[in-house]
Amino acid sequence: AQKITQTQPGMFVQEKEAVTLDCTYDTSDPSYGLFWYKQPSSGEMIFLIYQGSYDQQNATEGRYSLNFQKARKSANLVISASQLGDSAMYFCAMREPHNTDKLIFGTGTRLQVFP
Amino acid sequence: NAGVTQTPKFQVLKTGQSMTLQCAQDMNHNSMYWYRQDPGMGLRLIYYSASEGTTDKGEVPNGYNVSRLNKREFSLRLESAAPSQTSVYFCASGTGARQETQYFGPGTRLLVL
């Protein structure tokens, strides 16, 4: 069965520094997608970035990039130049499209950015 | 463009009471989903609907029923609420395409006493 693991319950980073949030996954399906979502204290789920299993390059979206290491089954989120507004919960999720398009979520990492 | 809307935003129930959570999307998406979020557990899928007229169980369906009323609306019903159903409930919708994200509603906070 597919599984998403986020081993860091909490992370701290100083403003303007970069931070890496870890995510490992487990699947036997060769075709899958990986997503990162941000959940601020207001509660909404905000989509950040997507990586497909067949994508040759690591995904990037502004200050967000995904360090995709397929052989190690890891999909770490890198936030560059952290801002105070980046303080939030971050969730990694995986979709196996051949097994419907359900999303499986990790337990999340709480990021705190300090001045 | 409202996206995904959910009602109510907050609800307090007594054990044994019933209620329906409403969800609507205006993005013409085929797929809709109900998740619950508990502290330390991430989001877990309760039920989903891949298209109008179809529904399937997710990871934690016990104690819930759903109705895909039409393409826009997907409701979640608690027939006899239990304290274990205290949670934040999110509705989401998506095209179902592999690279497409799901779009989430603002959530409903439910407290069962």
Residues lower than pLDDT 70 in chain A: 1-2, 97-101
B103/A47 Cβ within 8 A: yes
Q: What's the mean pLDDT in B66-80?
A: 95
pLDDT in tens, B2-61: 799 999 999 999 999 999 999 999 999 999 999 999 987 789 999 999 888 899 999 899
A53 or B96, greater pLDDT: A53
Provide the pLDDT for residue A102: 78
Separation between Cα atoms, residue B25 and residue B72, nearest integer Å:
5
Are the beta carbons of A14 and A80 closer than 8 angstroms? Answer: no
Q: Chain A contact for B48, CB < 8 A?
A: yes
Asked whether the beta carbons of residue B98 and residue A52 sit closer than 8 angstroms, the reply is yes
Which are the contacts of B56, defined by CB distance < 8 A and separation ≥ 6?
A100, B47, B48, B49, B50
- Nearest CB among A35, A43, A91 relative to B106 is that of A43
Q: Using alpha carbons, list the distances in angstroms from residue A4 to A25, A87, A93, B104.
A: 4, 22, 7, 20
Whether residues A44 and B106 touch (CB distance < 8 A) is answered with: yes
B39 at A interface, C-beta within 8 A: no
User: What confidence score (pLDDT) does residue B86 get?
Assistant: 97
Q: Which run of H or of E encompasses B14?
A: none
Q: Please name the residue of chain A whose CA is at the shortest distance from the CA of residue B37.
A: A107
Q: What is the pLDDT of residue B95?
A: 82
What's the confidence (pLDDT) of residue B61? 96
CB distance B78 to B85 below 8 Å: yes
Query: What integer pLDDT is reported at residue B2 of this predicted model?
Result: 75
pLDDT score, position B107? 95
Mean pLDDT calculated for residue range B89-105: 86
Q: How confident is the model at residue B98 (pLDDT cuts 50, 70, 90)?
A: low
Residue B1 and residue B103 in contact, taking contact as beta carbons nearer than 8 Å: no
Q: B88 vs A43: CB contact, 8 Å cut-off?
A: yes
pLDDT of A2? 63
